[in-house]
Amino acid sequence: MTIQPAALEALQSLFLGFAFAGLLASAYELFTARRADFQLLQSGGLSAVASVPVVVFSAPFLILRNTVRGRRIEGRPLVFVMLASMIAALWSMASGRVVLDLLMFLGA
């Protein structure tokens, strides 16, 4: 059984998107001693504009972290967790595709 090249590329995008999201959120926390979250955009001014790329590319990690935390602490329904996981996976594929394209552009 062979895997289609398009499916392999989609899996690469998915995995790279999740890995890059976790790396970016962890690096933000390391350098600022604050957790990355969606409230970074509410600060206003230049800091909100500068945090847009961080939030956009770390969103899959943030969504899953908040979803798992909400399930454990608040007891959110499993359907909510599944929907949030699908949204995070789609977002991860999109951001992973952007990262792969950027790497291909820089390497060529």
Task: Tell me the domain boundaries of the chain.
Answer: 5-107
pLDDT score of 48: 84
What pLDDT, in 10s, does the model give residues 73-102? 998 899 999 999 999 999 999 999 999 999
Which residues lie closer than 8 Å to 22 by C-beta, 6 or more apart?
58, 61
Tell me, what's the pLDDT at 108? 62
Please, which residues have CB within 8 angstroms of residue 102's CB and are 6 or more apart in sequence?
none
Mean pLDDT of the chain: 91
- For 69-107, b where at least 16 C-beta lie within 10 A, e where not — what string? eeeeeeeeeeeeeeebeeebbebbbbbbbbbbeeeeeee
- The predicted-structure confidence for 40-82, as pLDDT tens digits, reads as follows 888 778 888 888 999 999 999 999 999 999 989 998 899 999 9
Cα(50)–Cα(47) distance, rounded to whole angstroms?
5
pTM of the entire structure? Answer: 0.87
